[in-house]
Structure 1
Amino acid sequence: MKKFAAGLIAVAMSVTMLAGCGVPANTVHSVDDLEGKTIGVQLGTTGDIYAEDVKDAKVEKYNKGADAVQALKQGKIDAVIIDAEPAKVFVEKNDDLEILDEPFAEEEYAIAMKLDNTELQTAVNGALKELKADGTLDAIKANYVGENAGKNPYKSPDNVSRDKGTLVMATNAEFPPYESKENDKVVGIDADMMQAVCDKLGYELKIDDMAFDSIISAVQSGKADVGVAGMTVTPDREKNVLFSDTYTSSSQVIIVRKK
């Protein structure tokens, strides 16, 4: 009888654990399934903010999105809430993960500046308007997302003036394809977009890589002129920084294990 009972227990355990690796089976198949689960997020992101509103959920906060994804693979958490484009990059590299079809939230990205720097806001908005109109912003995104990725990198026009000095951009290079590190250089959609903005306005661009939750403080203190890191406009952030017009739209999505 003891052997029979032990066999039943083993069978029951196999239903909830992936064979041979001790990782719990996925139980998150929709947004509603997040209730009461353990959710991984990148510290200070909108995923972090939104996850706190999920009923009875435990939110585990990581310095990097990649760390949250690794915890998911190891079975330490049940799901990851993160922006759509980085989510696609992570899933492409991990065939045991998938993105749920239902988005968690829709959002818009903008450039953060010091609250009183309306002069820079006006200038940046003007540059963004021109870059949208001439197709440059679409071309920059297409170089990182889709079937033509990597084929048409952004190049600064010849003889661009840099008479305005240096513009410092604070970012967190853990958010591909918006920003990541390549041979110690920050690359991505946001880096190229800000280079294009600086080309329009006459600045030399300098990029400072830091923790995501340090970016707004860097802008407030004047350590950086702008914060650009796939940053969503939220009411709380608008109390601390000035935002440009939207330069792209995205969504928060849910990554889960396939099994």
Structure 2
Amino acid sequence: MTVLKPAQAPPLRGFRPRVRLGGSRAGVVLLPLLGMVVVVTGWWLATSVFELIHPVVLPPPQDVYTAFQPRVVRLLEHTLVTTTSTVVGFVLSSVAGILMGLVLAGSQVVERMFSPLLVAVNAVPKIVIAPLLVVALGWGQRPILTMVFLLCFFPIVLSTVTGLTSTPADLAELARSLDASRWQAFRKVRLPAALPQIFVGLKVAMPLAATGAVLGEFFASDKDGLGFFIVQTSGMGNTAATWAAVVLVAAMSILLYFGVVLVERLFLPWVRETTSAR
């Protein structure tokens, strides 16, 4: 008796398995480093090789590094102060913004009353308010934290309201079919469904928090912070040291942003499993 074997497809010539570097653990580290190398190389070419930008405006990267070396301890101290202001202001605005979002999402009357006011406050350029904060609150941390709060508050409120008012219809219908109370539906359905959108607002707000801290230090700090250091060195014409502080602000913002991303992945692992998120 002859046994028939299934036909085997001929091997594809020249086929190689596709490697997704961006989705691997190595790609998470290597690709950002590669991007930094590309940016620094372009910076060096524009300032040192082709001399497209005057060094007073943008010094070459080697000059910035030279200015950074003798001031490393001082710059790190300023970075710690700015990072503390950024994180504290971000946490305060996150708590207040999420609570305000809960109130607005829970009452259509309240939402219609106060949404225009929130939009108006957010539309006012914060650099206009900064000197007034110094007059009202004095020098130090209070006006700086207030500036961080003002920049972060609106996107967190908006993302919270959007998340809580866009619960999938099938989940809302499921809660009603199970005769869940309003609190049970909120805790088991609406809030979990809104968390991805809330984290979108938090990720938008974190870089704004760094911006607010530096902007507040421009006006309200008299001795500490990267914003104070930038004002001090730029006033003396030392643009290389100024750009060293700017680079530290950028590095701080990147680390804090990915800190929020890490918290999201730890607390919401199901988002990556149930959506097309990478």
Return the structure number with greater helix share. Answer: 2
Instruction: Report which of the two structures shows the higher radius of gyration computed on alpha carbons.
Output: 2
Return the structure number with greater strand share. Answer: 1
TM beyond 0.5:
no
Question: Higher relative contact order by CA 8 Å / sep ≥ 6: 1 or 2?
Answer: 1
